[in-house]
Structures are given as structure tokens and as C-alpha cells.
Structure 1
Amino acid sequence: MTTEFKVCNCNRTMPLDAAAGTQLGAALGTAPIPIATELCRREVGTYLKTLDGVDDVVVACTQERSLFVELAQQKGTVAPLRFVNIRETGGWSAQAGQALPKMAALLAAAALPDPEPVPIVNYDSAGHVLIIGPADQALPWAQRLREQVDVSVLLTSGSESQMLGERSFPSFSGKKIKVDGWLGAFNVRWQQDNPIDLESCIRCNACIEVCPESAIDLTYQIDLDKCRSHGDCVKACGSIGAINFARGELAGANERNGEFDLIFDLSSTPLVHTHQLPQGYFAPGQDVARQFEDSLKLTQMVGQFEKPKFFSYKEKLCAHSRNGKIGCNACIEICSAEAISHNGNHVKVNPNLCAGCGACTTVCPSGAMAYAYPRTEDMGLRVKTLLNTYAKAGGRQAGLLFHSKGQGATLIAQAGRLAKAGWNGIPARIIPVELHHTAAVGIDVWLAAFAYGAANVSVMVTDEEAPQYLDALQQQMELAQTIMSGLGYAGVHVQLIRINTAAELDTYVNALAPAQTTEIRATFNVAADKRTTLEFALDHLHRHAPISVEQIALPAGSLYGAVVVNRDACTLCMSCVGACPESALTDNANAPQLRFIEKNCVQCGLCEKTCPENAITLVPRLLLTPAAKELQVLNEAEPFHCISCQKPFGTAKMIENMVGKLSMHGAFSGNINRLKMCPDCRVVDMMANKQESSVSDFK
């Protein structure tokens, strides 16, 4: 596969020359890379020539992306174009002279092949829009939009300044509005609490003329604070029957609902309260600028649309629930789109609501929930490529700065430009890594990055992230830092940075001190399975750690730990074995034993909650010895032998407890010995007694 790299020093504002091109080529495993000076202007012809006979073209300029794409389209090239920013990310910084390894890393990552396609979620919108809000807001927008989309209006209050004119769009009124669904499939329910039903009203104005309190305006809604219930309006309406003061007294008479493709919510407080709003739902409130911005987006959402299915779910690994007991609830609690719900012993993700933040995959302890756009393996390859190329080009103490492709990318670009105004810009050792969402990458990728040689991992968040995401990321970082510190690596390795301005970002990244990391770089690849990646990373970091340590105490709620059993209380009923979703707890078919494999435990707590004797306690820790992979016997007992056939069928303690609890029960008081029999002998004894009773009754 041939990849052509087009690098420009942007009118000599970056320290890139022929020697730098040779170094870049060596780091990327190619011939020396020619360095252009005016690639987007005087030297654009050389760009066009490179489009022939290559598989990929990587252009180290994002400012002129549109121009380069347009030129390629005019030429009719089929070579994929990839763009990467080396200017604001380092070429303009105060350390631009030392930024060549970072530039090489960014170019290498940009040249990686596209991730494999993922399943698609489809939406179909016919453009039926419901505008919700007070009349003075909703009606003007209905008039503006009705020529472009199919408009309906749901008024939440009347207005003295607005009026309903010709019946050019369906109009409703109501309160207690509930909106469910997504683009092309919204269901709206409300209560028609005003006596005038706009669906029936013909707007003849008879009610307005006869109302003695002037309680009815030209939106044909009655102000109930003014109304004295004379009933003149009801009489004036006559056979039309649009006015009914008793509507609320009739069960279900005031319930309304409708199906719509899009929602334009002008309520002062959005009717949908999730941080991540559903596709097709716009809630600009009273902000006029946002109203115009959202209305433009809304008119463009007519037709068929698609988005990636951002997640994959392995039900067998899920530690959510067993037998009605809730264990891990992390994904449900963190989802800002409320796309994840309880579904028996597992969870259910609605792909239509999923916004692709990936937070569920980050907090999932078992790896049942995995990010699919891109897949974890693809992100791992990108991180590994960045760090390996950086080191190959002579870079040291690399720091990764994960950021969103939205506000995060904007702040990175602004901070880079500040370097031309006297600021430092992004340091040479800090490599920005753009994500679809900052919550999509967690402890497995972070620890893998340290195993690959990273000195720092920072995640930059802005006000676009949901609050629960910040809490989850902070908890994950505390866990990662506990592990790195426990292994003896000095310094602060992981940080969550909350940035609002480019100046704040500039200050932070230039004050960030490199932490200690392994001198031997790992060669493993990030796996699809989260626990496998963690095992590889932890094994490498432990093997090359500054100190020798066998275990590390972890904070509560960690994804590793032990199970401690109170042997005096445990009856070896094996309820915990049946509840364990990860096969960390097992029994022994040949003896009454409760066994445990620590590396499989995700600390979900299902065993603890299931145990009828409250004999189980969770101990979060990271065991780094081979014992973590070995079967441990947590409790065992001598078997109890059936008093009839002598076959072992339980433990002495279990039978003793059962006899003690049931001996006074009416069903067993006369047959207590049956509790000491195996199931087969118990049935035989019951049938024999029944036969004897029948013979006695016959005599």
C-alpha cells in the first residue's frame, strides 16, 4: 500500500525544511518527504500530481481541507484523502523546533487504514414537525416554517398579541406534555385541559363576542382566572361542541396523543430532560439566536438518515442482574441519553437514542459493553502508532491529550494560534488525540498507553460533557493512578482537565510534568475484550515496575478484587455460584467446595447480595501474583450422607441448619427424617407412607 504525504511549512511559519523531511521519512518508513512552502497556492500543482497512482494521500493541513477536497473531486481521483493538523498542534508552538517527533506521530496515525464498517442505525423523517410552546412563540414560527415542513402546533398558553388565522396547520393546546422517541418516531402525549378544543373549533369568534369577562383571546383559549363560568360561550358554540367545561371530569376525555417526525420545543424548560437530547428534538427555549439556528437544522432533517451503531453488547458477560438481584448498574446510571434500561438479567440499549458517547463502555467492568465507532482495537492501534512513531523519531516522555472533536478540537486549534500571539502553544511532547467523545476511552486504553511508553494521559473536558461523565472519568482515573503509584511509578500519570478557554489550555499543558513510565515498550495490541487488554497492560507494567509488589489495595467499586467468605456462616448452598456472571465463583462436582478465580471477578456484588447467610464480603484489590489465575478454595465441608442410601447430597452444616429451621414447621414436624434424605429417597419414603395410609384407610 502506497501512501503519499504532503507536508507544508505554511509560508515558512513552521521550522520544516529538507532535513526535517528526511527525518520525517525515516520515522514513517518512507523516502524523504518533500516540504512545500505554499502547497495550497503556488505549489498546488504538486499536490494534484500526487493524486495519481497512490492508495492514500495524507495532507498535513486542515485549514484548506475544503480546497484540497474540491481539487481532488475536479481531478476525479479515487485515492482517499486524509487530513491532519500539524500546525496548531505543534508547528506554531514555542517548542516547534522540537516538535518533529510529534509531527511524525500525527502523520503516521493519519495514514492508518479506515476502521472496519459498523452496523448502521436508520431514521426516516417525512418532516412532520410539532412546535410546542406559548402562542406568542409557537405561532410565528409555525408561519415561518409551514412552507418548508409539515407543521403542527401544540400551544401551552394563549396570547393577546397572536391569533390563529386560517386553518393552515393543525393546532392543539394542552398541559402535562410528555415526549418520547427519536427522529421520525416521536410520540407526544398531553392533556387537553382548556375547555376549548382547538381540533373542533371552527374559529367563528361567537364565543369571543358573548364572553362577558373577555376571557377568550384570538388563540381561542379561555383564561380560567378571568372566566366566571356563565356558559354563554357554550351556548354560542352550539352544535359545534368545541367548548366543554366538564371535559376534565370524564375519564380519559382530555387525553390526547400524536406521532411526529421532529419536535421544536419552545418551552422555557425543555420537556425532555436528558443531557443528550434525542435526534430530531430541538429545544432552543427563549433564545432567539438558537431558535433560528435550530430551525435551519430542523428544515434539513427531512428524508432518510443514518448513523453508526456506536456500541456492541455481549450479553453473556453482563454482570447487571441475576434472579432479581441487581449487581452492576453502571451503564444505566451513566447514560446521558437514557438509552439503556433494565431488561431482566441483562440490559437493553436503544440504538436510536444512543448518542455514541461511549461512557457505558468506559464504566463497564466486564467488557460486556464495548465501543464500536471506532472499535477499541482501532483506538488502541492509533495510540500504539502515535507512541511508537514518536519514540522512533527521537521523542521522549510523550503525553497524550484526549479531546472531543467538538469544543475540544476548537480549543486545541485556538491554543495553537495563541503561540503566534506570544503564548507557548501545545508543547512538543504533548500529542493531541481526537475522540468522538471524551468518555469513550477508559482505563484499558490508558494503561495500555503507559505500557507503550506514555508519560501522561490527560482528558480535556468542556461544558459539553454531561456531569455524570466527569464523575465516572474521575473515578476511573483515581483507579488508574492508584495502580501506577502502587507499582512504584512516580508522578501524576492521569488527569481530568476542565477547560473553558484556549488560554487555560495553554497554561495547563505547559505546566504538565512528565511522570515516570516503563523504559521497555510493550508490543501487545489492544484487544476487543477489555479484561484481556487490562491483563496484558498490567502484566507488562508489573514486570517492568520500579518496585516489586504482589497486590495493590484499590478503592471501592473497582473492577478487580477478592471475595471473602465467612466460613462459620456459609452453608455452601452455592447460591453465589449460580449468581456469578463471570464464573469467578464455582463449585466442585466431586466435593462440597466453594472455589474462586480472582482474575475473573468484576466486583459486581451479585454474590454478596444473593447470599442468604450474608457470609460474603467484597475486597477490592489488584492481585499481581499467579494466584490470581488459580482456583482457590474459599470454603469446604464434609458431605452429609443420606440416612437411607448413604449417598452424599449436601453438607452437614446445611442439613443441620435446615433441620433446625423446619423441624417445628407443620409440614415437616412428623417427618423430620425426610430432611436428612437425598431427593430420591425422600420421594420413595413419601410414596411408601402414602401407600401405608391408603391400606389403613381401606381396612
Structure 2
Amino acid sequence: MSTITKITTLNQLVEQTTDVNGKARQHALRATVTLGNLIPSTVTYESRGLALVVGGGEAVASFAAQIPASLRDQAVLVCTDESSNAIPLPEGMAFFYAREVQVDGFLGAFDVFITHTLVKQNLAQITQGREHFDLIIDLSERGFHFAELPPLGYYSVGRSIVTSDDALDALSDMTGTFDKPKFFRLDTNSCAHSARGIEGCTRCIDACPADALSSVDSAITINPYLCQGMGSCATACPTEAISYSLPDPDNTQHFVFQLLAHYREQGGQSPIVLFYAEASDTELAEQLAQLPSRVIPVRLEELASVGIDSWFSALAYGASQVVLAASSSLPVKTRKVLEQELAVASSFLSSLGHSADRIALSSVTSLSTQNLYSNALLDQSKKLEGSKREKLAQALDLLASNAVLVSTVSTVPDGAPYGRIDVATSDCTLCMGCVAVCPTDALQSIGSSPGMTFREQDCVQCGLCEKACPESVITLVPRYHWDAATRQQRDIVHEEPAAECIRCGKPFAPVSMVNMLIEKLSNHSHFQDDAIKRLSMCEDCRVRDIVSDMMDNPDKQLKV
């Protein structure tokens, strides 16, 4: 069923509710500008319809018998067991046998290599004189492409991701030029994945059900042809290096802000925001009809396109509750990301003294049994501004101002991107390796003297600083500090006097670093006798001393 039909049907249901909250809901949905981008950027696929049908002999033969005669010349049949000779095929079609099959690519550009008698060959090339297949119809139970969401043009019938009828329809329908939106924006400058050859955060890679994200040359790369816009990578990203763009979360939050404001204008009480995506019209309409009229449906492109910042913003704007309606087709990886975000949300709500299901995940078919709340936590009239992390902090601060906190510091689940670092300063040499790799500037150098500072609000617990420390003196401490001033202030983590050059007196390095180098290199052949003193010199004086020594002792030039 099309999106237009779905929205129209839900609107018809909303129009039938005429109590005070129902009329307020009608007004809010009419008066609030619909989410969406007018002109999204796109990627283009070109397909000529050449299909590979691959799997066990019986399954391939059964499928081939259903292919219309006019389309049989577009299909290449590959059997992966040795039953092909005994199975009858439609006239004009033949099996190819392959012991191993490797498939990679997307609609219009699938690379297929087969291995038989230890020789690896491009199947499209040897059967059709082309480099690529346009479509893949995979009838095997395990599949030859292992992404939870296979690429566009890949019909995984054997894994029951699509039906045989869908695959048959594709033979005629998927020929031509097709455009698909680019769902995401990527800012590698704020990415916490890697720095200076050290790997840190991999949340986005782990979250993608389409395997569209990878690390290439130590940088996150999104393949737009594989991406199917589930949104889980953007929700999982702690630095907003990846953001959803159809629409972006800021527009979504502004939409919810306006929606609830319009609802209250008409006297609506205790609104509940229901985020949904990819739900069938019948299922959602049936469930919504059994829910109070104060439940306001908000359609997203994908359920995971918004995360914890949007959920808490809705509570700050006056929602009594936020409910996420998940369809049965929600990918496992996407559900896992939502559940991880919900675990963090639950820890925040518990610390505030509220029930964890103020933000709840429910299947579409069980919405009518969801426990619903009738009292709003806040009535915030000002729109939150800033990055998603800043908006979450603002929303939490507003909720905390109306709550009695047992402690100013609360625990968060392992892996949550909130917390601070502990530094064993007695062993820290202030080499600044941690500062160099910090992606959010949570760690900074003092500048005027050897030392570094830390701001908890900015720390995403990516682990880059911990891995970069040559002395192993940094430990991550996941937590959330509810005192905004403390969380946002920049504290000195470690500071010490600078060592002064023994020749010119210029400060040039931390004392602890100089002492550490003298201790470790005292027995080194290059630092015997007076040469060890060079470690206590600034760079300029060190060079002058080396040059002067070589001029006085020319034979030492042979050892350089």
C-alpha cells in the first residue's frame, strides 16, 4: 500500500474522533507543516533486466518454469548442487553448475563470480559477454549475500525476505532507470571512528542492517547504492557525524514542537506522541481506533531515523509519553539500536524518578495493550536549539529541574556515549596523544603550560584517548552528571611546570616527560656521556649541540 493511501486512511480515522482531545488532534495535524524534504539528492540505478537465478537444482527449475517465455532469455540459471542433469527445464534454458558463488553489488551492477574446478570466473562475462548482472534471484536457504537487508535488485526468496511472486514481477518491472534518495549526510571531521591509525567508535557500522557502512583507509564510508535509509546509523552516532536527511532530526523535533503547541491551543490534554513507520494502514488504523484520542500519530520515513534526543524533546514539549510503533519487518540490527537507546532512556527516566515506559517500544499489533500515561512531565513552550547532544542535555535539564534527584551522578548502560575519563596523573607524561585524537574536543591542551583540560558534556566515550595513551593511564567512566554547570565546565585534568632548557632557559616540555626519557634512554648508545644532557635541551639547543660536537669530532659524522 502506498504512503499516500496510508496517510489518507489514518487522517480519515482521526477525523472521526470529535471529543475535545480528538478535535485538538485534528487541528494539530492540519496546522503543522508535514515533514519532508522538497528536493532530496538521489542516486541512480540503471538496469537492463539480466537476472541470475541461483540455488539448488529443484528450486531453480521450479522457479524457471514460472518465468514467462518472453523473459527467459533474460535469466541465467545456476545450480549449486549436482542435480541439474536430472531436472527438466523449460525449452531454451540451461543450467550452469557452480561449486562456489560470490555475489556483490546492487541493482544494475552485481558482480557474480563462480568457482568450478578451482577456476574463478565472472559469470556474466562467460554467459552473456557482460560485466554485471542487473538482478539476483537467490533461492538458497542461507543466501549468497549475507546483509540483513540485501541490496536493491537482490531478491532473497530462499531466506523468505521476499516471495517468488515478487521476484517474478521484478523480471519485467526492474528494467530501466531508477532513482533513490540519499538518506544521509556524513561529516567525517566530527567522526569518532578513528584518529592517527587508532580505531575508536564503530557504532554506525554495527548498526547498519544493509552493510552499507565500512571503514576505508580508517574513515567511515557510506555506499549510497547499498543504503536503504533505516536510520539506525544516525541514531547510533554519538557525534552527529552521520545525520538523517529525509527529513533531518531537527526538522522532526520542530514538527513535534509545533504539533504539541497546536494541540494545546485547542484545549488538548495529556498528548502522547506515537512515532511509526512502515506499518500497514489496516494494522495501525485498527490499533489507533482503540487508543485515546490524545494519541497523536507522527509518521517517520523510518522508525530509527530519530533517537533519544527527539524522544526526550517530545517529553520536554509537553508529551505525557512517547511510544515507538514497530512493524514486524523492523530489521534485527535496527531493533537492537532502538533497544540500546531505550536502555539509556530508561536509566535517565529512572534517575528522574519516572517509569521507564514513559518512552516505550511496542509492536504495531499490540498498541492497544500499551500502558499509557495521562500526566505530562513538563509544559515547555520554547523550542530547544543546538546539536542533538545539546538538545538532549537541555531536555534532561528541564526534566531534572522538576524532579527530586537521589544523586547528581547516575549510572548508564555500558557503551552509552556519556561519561568522563579518569587519568592516573602520577604516571601521565602529558605527551598529548589523547588530546590529539579526541574527536569532540572534550580533551584540550591548556596551551600556556604543559597540561590538559576536560569537559564532560562533550565526551562520547569513544575510547580513542584510552587507546592512544602510551602510558595506559586513562580509563573511561560511563555516567551522567545531572548538574549542568559541572557537566559543562572545563576542568584541568593534569598540569605541571615546563622543563627549562639547561642552555637557554626556554620552557620546552613537561618535566615528567623529560625525566621519563632520561630514565629510559640512559643506557642507549646514542645518549652516553654528555649526550644524555641533550634530552634536557630545547630543540634548537639540541641541534646546535649535535652540530658543534660533530665539528669538534669529525669521526662522529660517520655514525649519523
Matches within 5 A, 1:96-245: 98-109=21-32, 111-112=33-34, 114-142=36-64, 144-145=67-68, 147-148=70-71, 150-157=74-81, 158-159=83-84, 161-163=86-88, 168=92, 171-193=95-117
Residues 21 and 267, structure 2, Cα contact 8 Å, conserved in 1 = no
Residue-by-residue CA offset, 1:582-627 (whole Å, 9 max, x unaligned): 1111112220111112222212111111111111122223333323
Matches within 5 A, 1:505-584: 505-508=367-370, 511-514=371-374, 516-518=376-378, 520-525=379-384, 529-545=387-403, 550-584=408-442
Offset at residue 165 of structure 1 (A) = 7.2
Q: Distance in 2 between matches of 1:697 and 1:558?
A: 56
**Equivalences, count:** 546
Q: Equivalent residue of 1:431, what SS?
A: strand
Residue-by-residue CA offset, 1:497-524 (whole Å, 9 max, x unaligned): 245xx3x33222xx32346511x31321
What letter matches 1:627 in structure 2? T
Q: Partner of 1:691 in structure 2?
A: 551
Q: Partner of 1:442 in structure 2?
A: 307
Residues 550 and 625, structure 1, Cα contact 8 Å, conserved in 2 = no
Q: Distance in 2 between matches of 1:436 and 1:654?
A: 53
Q: Equivalent residue of 1:385, what SS?
A: helix
Residues 489 and 516, structure 1, Cα contact 8 Å, conserved in 2 = no
Residues 493 and 515, structure 1, Cα contact 8 Å, conserved in 2 = no
Offset at residue 449 of structure 1 (A) = 0.5
Residues 522 and 540, structure 1, Cα contact 8 Å, conserved in 2 = no
Closer, same or farther in 2 for the Cα pair 1:696/1:389, shift >3 Å? closer
Matches within 5 A, 1:411-560: 411-416=283-288, 425-489=290-354, 492-498=357-363, 502=365, 504-508=366-370, 511-514=371-374, 516-518=376-378, 520-525=379-384, 529-545=387-403, 550-560=408-418
Residue-by-residue CA offset, 1:329-368 (whole Å, 9 max, x unaligned): 1000111111000123430000100010000011111111
Closer, same or farther in 2 for the Cα pair 1:122/1:65, shift >3 Å? closer
Q: Distance in 1 between matches of 2:498 and 2:454?
A: 20
TM-score, normalising length: structure 1: 0.72
Closer, same or farther in 2 for the Cα pair 1:364/1:552, shift >3 Å? same
The answer to whether the aligner puts 1:393 opposite 2:276 as a matched pair is no
Q: Which runs of 5 or more structure 2 residues have no equivalent in the other structure?
A: 125-131
Closer, same or farther in 2 for the Cα pair 1:631/1:287, shift >3 Å? closer
Q: Which runs of 5 or more structure 1 residues have no equivalent in the other structure?
A: 1-61, 70-81, 194-247, 420-424
The answer to whether the aligner puts 1:615 opposite 2:473 as a matched pair is yes
Q: Partner of 2:129 in structure 1?
A: none
RMSD: 3.0
Q: Equivalent residue of 1:99, what SS?
A: helix
TM-score, normalising length: structure 2: 0.89
Offset at residue 396 of structure 1 (A) = 1.8
Residues 277 and 303, structure 2, Cα contact 8 Å, conserved in 1 = yes
Offset at residue 549 of structure 1 (A) = 6.9
Offset at residue 398 of structure 1 (A) = 1.4
The answer to whether the aligner puts 1:596 opposite 2:454 as a matched pair is yes
Offset at residue 289 of structure 1 (A) = 9.2
Closer, same or farther in 2 for the Cα pair 1:521/1:185, shift >3 Å? same
Closer, same or farther in 2 for the Cα pair 1:357/1:394, shift >3 Å? same
The answer to whether the aligner puts 1:641 opposite 2:503 as a matched pair is no
Residues 151 and 170, structure 1, Cα contact 8 Å, conserved in 2 = no
Q: Distance in 1 between matches of 2:252 and 2:103?
A: 36
Offset at residue 694 of structure 1 (A) = 1.4
Q: Which has the larger radius of gyration?
A: 1
Matches within 5 A, 1:7-86: 83=8, 85-86=10-11
Q: Partner of 1:235 in structure 2?
A: none
Closer, same or farther in 2 for the Cα pair 1:338/1:113, shift >3 Å? closer
Residues 592 and 650, structure 1, Cα contact 8 Å, conserved in 2 = yes
What letter matches 2:488 in structure 1? K
Residues 190 and 241, structure 2, Cα contact 8 Å, conserved in 1 = yes
Offset at residue 697 of structure 1 (A) = 10
Residues 151 and 226, structure 2, Cα contact 8 Å, conserved in 1 = yes
The answer to whether the aligner puts 1:369 opposite 2:369 as a matched pair is no
Closer, same or farther in 2 for the Cα pair 1:404/1:380, shift >3 Å? same
Offset at residue 488 of structure 1 (A) = 4.4
